[in-house]
Chains A and B, each alone.
Chain A
Amino acid sequence: MSDTLIEFKNVKKVFDDTVVVEDFNLEVKKGEFVTLLGPSGCGKTTMLRILGGFELPTSGSIMMNGEDISMLPPNKRPVNTVFQKYALFPHLNVYDNVAFGLKLKKISKKEQDEKVKKALELVDLEGFEKRAIDTLSGGQQQRIAIARAIVNEPDVLLLDESLSALDYKMRKEMQVELKNMHKKLGITFIFVTHDQEEALTMSDKIVVMADGEIQQIGTPEEIYNEPKNLFVADFIGESNIFKGTMTGYHKARFCGTEFDCVDDYEKDMVIDAVIRPEDIVITEESKGQIKGEVLSCDFKGTFYIVVVQAGKNEIEIHSLNNYEIGTKVGMCIEPDNIHIIPYDSSINHYEGKIVAPQLEDKLHVEFEDFEVDIEPSLILSGAVMSDYELKDAEGNVLDLTDRVVEASFIPSDADLTDQAEEGLIQGNIFSFIYVDDHYRYTVRSKSEEDYVVNDEDLWNQEDYVGVIIPADKISYKLLEENADEE
């Protein structure tokens, strides 16, 4: 395709044995405004630095205009960056800062003057040429940093959390101005932010990242209305998440009610239903699909946040009307506004290895974070172990040493404890979302395995916890022999 400007292919970056970005694939078209969005530590800034040339990818390649630029130093790339802390040169005045790149290109002084003037006009700072950097406000320094980058007429402008140091009002203004600049200049902008509102306002395309991986790529509307997974749904905007099942063609059941919906998944499939607070309509109790009682109602300027208790679920609604606490209300949701995400059945599956017999009557299996002793019959029906010998149903002696066993459990069977050592697994809370009436936590162990656990108590991110899983709630499966080659 001719209008593809940048192409990331399987880019991976490892810092000191920690994988920061993995499997990053992205195409950026000429003139697009692309935002990399994600919480801090998700790898978005690393990707920008790789594109700028300040970091080299561990593997993978970056193509620009059809050429591989992965290994080029920053000064050889047709890319300019607006740094998070601006990085303006303190020993140079505004003019010399903006003209820095032009002077290196050895163009005539007259042309230089003209270009600097034009760039300063574009950022609304005409006449600031002689000013010292330290006499400028944060917002003005920001504009100079932008002027210094665009004066070089790069193919791509990279913006690294460029607005996060500004106060709220200034940020709003700069958002609009950046968007206008983008239209005027017609060059490609790649913007990094953790602010979802900023991303939704400015971008043509949003790349949602978490934990070094791309979660979803799409237009702001797609990202908001059709989140691919619970992380995206939770990170972008407010959302109510309900656990449920598909009950038929375009029918899903959650919150104790069957709803019509537009997403099509197999009957009986376990799902999460995502509903935005502004998409729930409060009606008279008798007319509602769900009924409940108002728990709280807070004024937010243009709307009220109404929290309704319906059965055991708490539902957040954005409403234009004020409701008395205790009011009985009904709630309706249009099929269009119910977004179904299939429940990720791959979570909580772990592979371990059977070790040579150490126990008289049980198999010892070692996993990354824990080890268990299990009855042989759990993985091979009829098998028994006695006297350090494993025999199958017919009585033949078997050797399962080094064979891979898969263990799995469902999130609601596990519990968290702050007596970490009491748990089967220890780790830190990595993330959590509110579903139905409980929190769904992702606990990350030292070996970087993730364990998903439902718990009613509120824990904080980074808390060190133990995961308790009753022995009879873990299911085991012996994998085929060739499966252990990975």
Chain B
Amino acid sequence: MKSNNLRKQLAIPYAIFLIFFVVLPLLVVIYYGFTNGDGEPSFDNFIRFFKNGKTIGTLVYSIAIAVLTTFFCLLLAYPVALIIAKGAYDKHTKFLMIFVLPMWINFTLRVTALKEILTFIEGNLAYHQFFNTILCMVYDFLPFMIMPIYNSLTKLDNGLIEAASDLGANKIQVFFKVILPLSIPGIVSGITMVFLPSMTNYVVLDMIYNSTYIMGSLIGSYFSAYDWHNGSVISIILLMIILGVTVISNKFTESDSKTQMAR
């Protein structure tokens, strides 16, 4: 009983933190999102967002960037994670370090460096804005995709790979029948870690002179003009997208590991 009480008491600081920095701000955002300038409840802000071709365009552009960034991150990260986790290298952690090390450097610094390189190659950055954005985003978020996939692959028992090849599977069959399905939880958490931030990371666009708005820049511009209502609406829309992606990816992992979960 005593230890139970103590445990409850230990949770108090976290509860306070959650109330002040998660729950209250969320309530404030929802309040502003569903009220008009006079403080009366209304859906006008939402209707305005979805009626405006420009804001819808921003949403589509953001999703396009997020989808492509996630796709290329996955394409690059999976082989890297597989090689580090299951390859014949002794020094796994050192090898992993090479890919994770850039995370130790501030990302604005990294993007600035990349910008200089791109300027040197392309001359004028304005000609390849979309390509440059995707490139910088992928560079920025790659470690966040490698880590979870690497983790799920290191947890994968080598015995299963041996068992599959013992039962007659060649290397490609082993990959598609055993390695890939068992690393899906890692892929899913990698996607959640890359997809959502890349929709809002407008600092990258600013730095490489891409003046197109994404969702993050839209919120920023509204808030800096003291338009709390429209800014909040976009935050709520983003929240819904986040929720949607999380639910879908959870479904994915669940249906895949249903056999595991049915204890």
Beyond A75-B169, A85-B159, A91-B181, is A100–B164 a contact (Cβ under 8 Å)?
yes
In contact, B168 and A81 (Cβ under 8 angstroms): no
Beyond A104-B173, A134-B259, A135-B263, is A89–B166 a contact (Cβ under 8 Å)?
no
- Measured between alpha carbons, how far is A469 from B181 in the docked complex, in Å? 62
Q: How far is the CB of A156 from chain B (nearest CB, A)?
A: 12
Let me know if B170 is at the binding interface, CB within 8 A: yes
| Interface flags, A316-349, vs B, CB<8A=1, else 0 | 0000000000000000000000000000000000
In contact, B178 and A134 (Cβ under 8 angstroms): no
In contact, B260 and A80 (Cβ under 8 angstroms): no
**Which residues in window 77-107 of B have CB below 8 A to A?**
none
Residues of A within 8 A of B178 (CB): 89
Let me know if A87 is at the binding interface, CB within 8 A: yes
Q: How far is the CB of A140 from chain B (nearest CB, A)?
A: 14
Let me know if B167 is at the binding interface, CB within 8 A: yes
Let me know if A74 is at the binding interface, CB within 8 A: yes
Let me know if A362 is at the binding interface, CB within 8 A: no
Let me know if B163 is at the binding interface, CB within 8 A: yes
In contact, B182 and A90 (Cβ under 8 angstroms): yes
Residues of B within 8 A of A53 (CB): 165-166
From A52, A75, A91, A101, B257 is in contact (CB under 8 Å) with: A91
- Measured between alpha carbons, how far is A90 from B157 in the docked complex, in Å? 10
- Measured between alpha carbons, how far is A54 from B167 in the docked complex, in Å? 12
Residues of B within 8 A of A92 (CB): 259
Residues of B within 8 A of A79 (CB): 166
* Contacts across chains A and B counted by CB atoms under 8 Å: 77
**Which residues in window 96-115 of A have CB below 8 A to B?**
100-101, 104-105
Residues of A within 8 A of B173 (CB): 104
Size class of the contact patch on chain A: 20 to 34
Let me know if B162 is at the binding interface, CB within 8 A: yes
In contact, A135 and B262 (Cβ under 8 angstroms): yes
Let me know if B160 is at the binding interface, CB within 8 A: yes
Q: How far is the CB of A75 from chain B (nearest CB, A)?
A: 5
Which one of B157, B162, B256, B257 has the highest number of Cβ atoms from chain A below 10 Å of its Cβ? B162
Residues of B within 8 A of A105 (CB): 168
Q: How far is the CB of B42 from chain A (nearest CB, A)?
A: 49
Let me know if A159 is at the binding interface, CB within 8 A: no
Residues of A within 8 A of B256 (CB): 91
| Interface flags, B15-37, vs A, CB<8A=1, else 0 | 00000000000000000000000
- Measured between alpha carbons, how far is A462 from B157 in the docked complex, in Å? 30
From A54, A132, A133, A148, B162 is in contact (CB under 8 Å) with: A54
In contact, B259 and A81 (Cβ under 8 angstroms): no
- Measured between alpha carbons, how far is A371 from B160 in the docked complex, in Å? 51
Q: How far is the CB of A91 from chain B (nearest CB, A)?
A: 5
Residues of A within 8 A of B263 (CB): 134-135
Size class of the contact patch on chain B: 20 to 34
- Measured between alpha carbons, how far is A105 from B170 in the docked complex, in Å? 12
In contact, A104 and B168 (Cβ under 8 angstroms): yes
Q: How far is the CB of A161 from chain B (nearest CB, A)?
A: 13
Residues of B within 8 A of A445 (CB): none
In contact, B162 and A74 (Cβ under 8 angstroms): yes
- Measured between alpha carbons, how far is A105 from B260 in the docked complex, in Å? 26
Residues of A within 8 A of B258 (CB): 132
**Which residues in window 47-93 of A have CB below 8 A to B?**
52-54, 73-75, 79-81, 83, 85, 87-93
Let me know if A152 is at the binding interface, CB within 8 A: yes
**Which residues in window 92-150 of B have CB below 8 A to A?**
none
From B157, B159, B167, B259, A100 is in contact (CB under 8 Å) with: B167
From B160, B165, B168, A89 is in contact (CB under 8 Å) with: B160
Q: How far is the CB of A137 from chain B (nearest CB, A)?
A: 13
Residues of A within 8 A of B262 (CB): 132, 134-135
In contact, A87 and B260 (Cβ under 8 angstroms): no
Residues of B within 8 A of A152 (CB): 167-168
From A101, A132, A148, B259 is in contact (CB under 8 Å) with: A132
| Interface flags, A140-162, vs B, CB<8A=1, else 0 | 00000000110010000000000
- Measured between alpha carbons, how far is A385 from B176 in the docked complex, in Å? 76
Q: How far is the CB of B187 from chain A (nearest CB, A)?
A: 14
In contact, A75 and B170 (Cβ under 8 angstroms): yes
- Measured between alpha carbons, how far is A52 from B163 in the docked complex, in Å? 10
Q: How far is the CB of B231 from chain A (nearest CB, A)?
A: 44
| Interface flags, A190-213, vs B, CB<8A=1, else 0 | 000000000000000000000000
11 of the cross-chain contacts (CB-CB < 8 Å) are A74-B166, A83-B162, A89-B160, A89-B164, A89-B178, A91-B181, A104-B169, A105-B168, A134-B259, A134-B262, A148-B167
- A74-B166, A75-B167, A100-B167 known; 6 other A-B pairs, CB under 8 Å? A54-B166, A74-B162, A75-B170, A83-B162, A89-B160, A104-B173
Give the 5 A-B CB pairs with smallest separation, nearest first: A101-B167, A87-B159, A132-B259, A87-B163, A74-B165
